[in-house]
Structure 1
């Protein structure tokens, strides 16, 4: 069977067409072998007079990630997109690791987020993701030591396990017993939202369970992400008109902003009142159990016991800082776990290798394991390799864009003018033979494992799931801690069976979610 004009590639337990995954029982690994192809075609868009390359973009916007990959494969890794005249949509797209290293590291000071970034991501306000230069460096210096504090990392482990034990595991046990279908992506979204709110705010939203719809706050995040994505692919005039008329995605974004701001304002006010009795030793104690908002407030000195008031830091600054942290924690881990479990379910040999390691290194009795300390997570080398491989193929933040302040010449030889949007397609980079070799489409955890050092190191400008350069994600290890705990806890207890015919395709969002969710059935197991 051939879908349209595109190549048909075997992926996991399914077939990857350039814009969808269709499941088939007879496959067990990702491979880039072309099974059949009706005709050769080029993916390079035609540059029309006046309207530029927009017609091709609109025709392929439903499969944006695959379309970008195809263009870069044909153009040698760097491509200049031409938008309509006067629409300010011209951009340079590059997956060349040398260019990525130049932009994110070597010429970091010249490549900023650009004048359009904050307008597109205005929901994040003046938080760390929108901030530039000094306004970015100052909060980062405050927040990063709090995130990497040993006590907070233990708090992450304990909080994640408690939420698994009391929330996600009972839901999956019910699904296994009743034989009902579940959407694992939705369950992970609720789990990571609740744990992130607990870690950042000290508040548990207690999201609905298996048979209830998404919470208003969960919908608010999803609507915001969708609206921001479409701001990237339509002329600014179009979404500004939508915002003025309050229609379409912009109407949803406005409502999402109102809900999120009210939620955060309530939590900030409550935290300010409740922290008066906490002293500095509570934060410095090993595993003191304080959330980031409590630690952050204490770090900048807003408690009355220090003869200061919360007016020193405005509520808007708190709100923007916290919203950025929740966006990052909720979505990166939720999307990462969804693709990881899909890849394992699609590759039973690799799944069995992960299970074998768990059984060898952890205390598992009758399919039951309980989290006790972070040290035991370090023993899971093959699991770490599988997580890295999943993040290589499906990085939760699929693209990033920058813009130079001054003219520059990239290592590839491409000249770039000031304020030219420069798109870095991290999803496409995981599919480049020039970067990862001919087996770049295969799910191979072994590529991350070295007999000498355990997990092999790959430079961040090649493995870009956590960004690169000065703005690389400093919460990387926190992410791995939580993902490992979830993986071990669930793989000890359950097998996951993807529904036959279920289509898996990346959604159009700034975060790489699955468009149709991850529908499957669950059965209990003991390993």
Structure 2
């Protein structure tokens, strides 16, 4: 980031905090003046500390605090980890918290995608996507795609690197894996980014710039980043270039699908082709706010592609980071695999019903999602003023930050051992999976906007995790810095460097 951009952030934050420090006596102080005067461009560049700093301050403030900024900064925020507030906003009073125009402005590159819209268009999206997911062949096609990439991509690469004890970036591998699978599922095209030569596919890497660019829009006043966009400079130029790369990729794939004759050779490919066709068919009469049907379909695909690549790859990365730091958990999962899968069904591919038997693995994945939710926060603005269950008054000018990352580290929510990685907390006394309400375990959001791909995600996560743990032991490379990047998705800034050894 250029010096002038650092300077702009510095001035903005200092001015904002100066107001915050003049809060009324009955409100708790988040940051003292020494913290402000110590703020430098070097400190600001270390945004990986943001989550830990916010979590500590939230604990001191009882789980919620108000951040009052200057009028030009658009930073009047209420940051909360209170489950009752989360339940109220996401479910109980859902109608008062639509996405709204401010949200659409921040995430404008997703256009009329499902995460970006309200009302009738959102209902159309939800019903259509649920209908496609419920097609009789969807689950089998999805699992076939995942297994194909596991066998012909993931295991090939891991086997090659394990033989030479080569250091690999597991996060990069997972990002390539999920990008290939979501492209195959949505566009009937496998870009084969996960292969031994690790090809550079611009669209796959563009998602990193997109998720980082979205976060910076939250840090800057709208007037600042909109000026950047107008002048085609800085973060906005980078964001625009990344979106154009993705849009061009999706447009070419859609054009190929729509022009492809229907005489497919493979029955499986034909089934998958019908899945892609179903989205296009369902949306053929929808033109969204742009009035352009083709753009509406592109917005839909781009949104689903981002969700399919980023959240799953991020979860796998943090899961294996935690597994590598807790070898006892790794051993227990491997024992469970031998007990419920390998002994009973040999080398046959494991389906969703099979991996559903892996209760301890499910608990370990939920723990990773609790401690490192792929989307660390959500923000909402009320249509009408009201008082939240925590007692805080919010108006149409209040941006409410539902801070999912902090929730996983609150003792009053998860107990004194909340910072520990304990899959056992997800196992009931009878040995089954313990259910937690969505306003407590918010990795898949909650209420009417609960993630539609939750079951798909768990199936893919379990297939990949069980296959890797069954075949390999994961060893973290010493001395590497592992922390979140400054991004809307909780990716690792410098990846996850590991070495694999084959299980004999």
Residues 454-507 of structure 1, C-alpha deviations (whole Å, 9 max, x = no match): 111100000000000000012100000001110111111111110011121111
More strand by share: 1
Answer with 389-398 or 247-256: which moved more: 247-256
Q: Using a 3 Å threshold, how does the CA distance of structure 1 residues 276 and 167 change in structure 2: closer, same or farther?
A: closer
Residue 325 (structure 2) pairs with residue 342 (structure 1): no
DSSP-derived class of the 1:496 partner? strand
Q: Separation in 1 of the partners of 2:82 and 2:305? A: 31
Answer with 182-191 or 152-161: which moved more: 152-161
Q: Separation in 1 of the partners of 2:425 and 2:144? A: 31
DSSP-derived class of the 1:413 partner? coil
Q: Which residue of the partner structure matches residue 11 of structure 2?
A: none
Q: Which residue of the partner structure matches residue 63 of structure 1?
A: 49
Residue 425 (structure 2) pairs with residue 447 (structure 1): yes
**1:126-525 alignment to 2 at 5 Å?**
126-207=112-193, 209=195, 212=198, 214-274=200-260, 288-290=271-273, 292-300=275-283, 314-363=293-342, 369-452=347-430, 454-525=432-503
Q: Separation in 2 of the partners of 1:240 and 1:246? A: 10
More helix by share: 2
Q: Separation in 1 of the partners of 2:83 and 2:280? A: 39
DSSP-derived class of the 1:115 partner? helix
Q: Separation in 1 of the partners of 2:50 and 2:191? A: 33
By how many angstroms is 1:213 displaced? Answer: 5.9
Q: Using a 3 Å threshold, how does the CA distance of structure 1 residues 253 and 206 change in structure 2: closer, same or farther?
A: same
Tell me if the contact between 1:114 and 1:419 (Cα under 8 Å) persists in the aligned partners: no
Tell me if the contact between 2:193 and 2:199 (Cα under 8 Å) persists in the aligned partners: no
By how many angstroms is 1:66 displaced? Answer: 1.4
Question: What value does the CA root-mean-square deviation take over the aligned residues?
Answer: 2.8
Q: Separation in 1 of the partners of 2:52 and 2:123? A: 34
Q: Separation in 2 of the partners of 1:290 and 1:356? A: 38
Tell me if the contact between 1:90 and 1:421 (Cα under 8 Å) persists in the aligned partners: yes
Q: Which residue of the partner structure matches residue 17 of structure 1?
A: none
By how many angstroms is 1:341 displaced? Answer: 0.8
Q: Separation in 1 of the partners of 2:466 and 2:59? A: 36
By how many angstroms is 1:227 displaced? Answer: 0.6
Q: Separation in 1 of the partners of 2:408 and 2:122? A: 28
DSSP-derived class of the 1:112 partner? coil
Tell me if the contact between 2:154 and 2:177 (Cα under 8 Å) persists in the aligned partners: yes
Aligned residues: 469
Q: Separation in 1 of the partners of 2:499 and 2:391? A: 51
Q: Using a 3 Å threshold, how does the CA distance of structure 1 residues 47 and 140 change in structure 2: closer, same or farther?
A: farther
**1:5-84 alignment to 2 at 5 Å?**
44-46=30-32, 58=44, 61-84=47-70
TM-score, normalised via structure 1 length: 0.83
DSSP-derived class of the 1:362 partner? helix
* Uncovered stretches (5+) of structure 2, i.e. residues with no partner: 1-27, 286-290
* Uncovered stretches (5+) of structure 1, i.e. residues with no partner: 1-41, 303-311
Q: Separation in 1 of the partners of 2:254 and 2:351? A: 31
DSSP-derived class of the 1:404 partner? coil
Q: Which residue of the partner structure matches residue 6 of structure 1?
A: none
Tell me if the contact between 2:69 and 2:76 (Cα under 8 Å) persists in the aligned partners: yes
Tell me if the contact between 1:194 and 1:206 (Cα under 8 Å) persists in the aligned partners: yes
Tell me if the contact between 2:149 and 2:177 (Cα under 8 Å) persists in the aligned partners: yes
